[in-house]
Amino acid sequence: MSSHPLPQYARSQQTAIVRPTTSSRALLAPLGMQAVRLTDHFWEPRRMSNHKMGLQAQLQQSEQTGRIDNFRRAAGLIQAPFQGIYFNDSDVYKWVEACAWVLATEDDSQLAAQVDEVIALIAAAQDEDGYLNTYFTFERKAERWTNLKDMHELYCAGHLIQAAIAYHRATGKTTLLDVAVRFADNIAQVFGPQGRPGACGHPEIEMALVELARETGNERYLQQAEFFVDQHGRKPPVISGSYYMQDHLPVREQTEVVGHAVRALYLYAGMTDILTETGEQALDSALETLWHNLVEEKTYITGGVGARWEGEAFGSNYELPNDRAYTETCAAIASVMWNWRLLLLKSEARFADTIEQALYNGVISGSSLDGTLFFYQNPLADRGQHRRQPWFPTACCPPNIARLLASLPGYFYSTSEEGLWVHFYANNTATATLASGHTVMLEQETSYPWDGEVMLRVQTETTEEFTLFVRIPGWAEGARAWVNQEEVADVQSGSYLALTRVWSQSDEIRLSFPMDVKLVESHPFVAGNHDCVAIMRGPLVYCVEQADHGNIDVWNLVLPVQPVWEIERRDDLLGGVVTLQAQAYERVLTDWGGQLYRTYRGQSTHYRSARLTAIPYYAWANRETGPMQVWLPVVDHALLVD
C-alpha cells in the first residue's frame, strides 16, 4: 500500500467516511460528504437538529460529566481526580468525529472553534511516547496495557483515529491526525509478532487502523489490524476465550454471530476492511456465513440486533423477544457500518437493503425528534416505562448516532468504472466524477419514504456512454421505471437496475415504488410472534402507541386478516408523518376473577370493535408515556361483545 493520487472516478470521494481507494477489490467508491447536498424533509431536519442542538447538548454533557476535564487533567491544566468510566475518552472522540462531518458541509465558525479547542486539549494530553488515554495517566500509568480484555484502551484509540481521519478529510488540518499517527505508532511498537500478543476485548481499532493505512499510505497499520483480528480464537486465549468477545474460535472458523452485539459487528466491519485490502478468500467465506446468520436468524424487523440484556448480546437463532429486546442503538449503527463496507466491496443490493432497514427504523428510533434525548435500548413492545434520556453513565449511543447522522450524505451514492450508483432516496443534488474524468450532476426529487415516486434528473457534459445503477428496494415488489417516457422492462426488487446510455441534459428517470400497506409475519421459530403480524409501508415499520388510543390498551389490539387502511399525511404530528388507520378489535378479558390460570375452556376470547392508528416506529415515545406494540395478533373471525 502506498500513497498515491486518487483515481479520476474517486476524486469526488475526498470526504468519504470509508475510502477504499487503495484497493482494486472494492467495486464501489463512495461519494464524499461535499459531493452531496440533502434538501429533503425527512433526513435533513434530523441532521440540522443534530447539528444545531444535539452536538451542543452533548458537548455540555461532556463538560458536566468531566469527560473534557479528564483531558485537561491529563494535560496538567487542572488538578482533579479522573471522572467517570475508564472508556469515557471515546465519547469525546465520537463527538469530534460528528463535528468533523458537519464541518465537511456546513460553515459553522462557532462549532469549528469548539472542536479546535477540544482537539488542542487532546493533543496536550498525549504522552511523549505517543500513548494517549486519560484514565491511564499519572497514578495509573503503570497499569497501561495490563488488561486488554476489559479496559478498552485500544477501543478508545480506535475512536481517536477515526475522529482524526474525519477531521483531516473534512478540514485538511493535520492537528489531530498527527496525534493519531503517533499513538498508532506507539501501539505498533508494543503489539505484534515481535512484541506483545493480545487484542482489545472490544473491537474498534481494527477498522480504524485500516482506514489510517488508507489515509497515510502506511501499510504498517493494515498489518497491525490483521494482527489484532488474528488474535481472536488463539489457544491458549490471549483475549478471553469467550463467546462474549468473539474469542471462542479463530475468526475464519466462526459461523454464528455471538456475544456482545456491538463488539461482534465492529469486528466484522474490521474484517471486511482487511478483506477489501487483501482479498483473502477465507475471510470472505467466513463473513458471508456470518452475514447470512445475522440477517436470516438474528435481526429484528426494525433492523435492530442484539436480543439479550445480559451481556448486550445476541441470543440463539430466532431468539427475538419484543418487550425484552435489547437492540442497542449502537448495534444498529454497527450493522450500518458493516453493511456499508460490504456494499462498497461487492456492490450487491442486499447490503443496501439491510442499511435502509436499520436507518429508517432501528437507528433513528434511538434519538428524539429534536435530537437531544436518546434510547440506549430500542424494544419492540413496552408498557410505558421506557423513555429516552439526555445522557447515560455509559454514553456510547448519543455521540454514535450523532456521527452517523452527520455523515449521512456520504451514504447516498457511489461510483465505479462503469458509472454512478444510487443507493438511497431523498431530495438532494450530487456531483460525481466518472472513470472518464467527466463530471455528472444528479438531482433527486421525491417525498420518500412517505411516497414511492422518485424523479432523477441527469446533467452531464459528456457524450460518452455510462451506466446509472439505481437501487430497487427489496420491499418494492412491482416497482416500475421509465427513462424519459419509455418504460424500462424487467425491473426487479432487491437489485440495482442498470441503465446504460449516452445521457443528455434533458434525460429523466422516473421510479415508482408501490407503497401498499403490508402485514409481515416472522419465521415460526420466533416464539413471541406466533399468529402476529407487523405493519410496514415502504421501508418503515409501524407501531401502535397508547397516545392514539384513549382508554384502549394497545397490548389488547387485534387486527383482522384483511384490514382496510386509511392513509393520512399528518404534518402536525411527530414532525410530519403518514399515519395508518383501520378498523380493528380490542380483546376483552372476561370471567377471570383474579385467576392467573384456569382449566382450558376452548376458544373463548371476546372482542369489541376498535379504531387502530399506527405511527412509524422511529417516532414512538415522543409524546406522553404509555404502552407500545409492533407485533399485533390477527384473527380470522372475532366474537364481538357490546
Q: Give the residue numbers annotated as catalytic, written as ranges.
A: 312, 396
- Identity at 156, one-letter amino acid code: C
Indicate the burial class of 579 (C-beta count within 10 angstroms; 0-12, 13-18, 19 or more).
middle
- Rounded distance between C-alpha atoms, residue 581 and residue 567, angstroms: 7
Rg (CA), the chain: 25
- Rounded distance between C-alpha atoms, residue 534 and residue 337, angstroms: 26
Q: What is the DSSP letter of 75?
A: T
Contact 61/395 with Cβ under 8 angstroms? yes
Phi, psi torsion values for 236, nearest 5 degrees:
-65, 155
- Residue by residue, DSSP assigns 466-510 as EEEEEEE-TT-TT-EEEETTEEPS---TTEEEEEEEE--TT-EEE
How many C-beta atoms lie closer than 10 Å to residue 45's C-beta? 16
- Rounded distance between C-alpha atoms, residue 591 and residue 170, angstroms: 66
Q: What is the 3-state secondary structure (H, E, C) of 171-190?
A: HCCCHHHHHHHHHHHHHHHH
Q: Cell 467516511 belongs to which residue?
A: 17
- Rounded distance between C-alpha atoms, residue 240 and residue 261, angstroms: 16
- From the list 119, 125, 123, the residue with the least C-alpha distance to 72 is 125
Q: What is the DSSP letter of 32?
A: P
Calculate the alpha carbon distances from 526 to 20, 321, 442 in Å.
38, 8, 43
Phi, psi torsion values for 89, nearest 5 degrees:
-55, -35
Contact 511/523 with Cβ under 8 angstroms? no
- From the list 281, 498, 290, 312, the residue with the least C-alpha distance to 396 is 312
Q: What is the DSSP letter of 552?
A: S
- Residue by residue, DSSP assigns 207-247 as HHHHHHHHHH--HHHHHHHHHHHHTTT-SS-SS---TTTT-
Coil, helix or strand for 445? Answer: strand
Indicate the burial class of 46 (C-beta count within 10 angstroms; 0-12, 13-18, 19 or more).
buried
- From the list 16, 43, 20, 9, the residue with the least C-alpha distance to 31 is 16
Calculate the alpha carbon distances from 159 to 172, 176, 205 in Å.
19, 12, 7
- Rounded distance between C-alpha atoms, residue 151 and residue 84, angstroms: 13
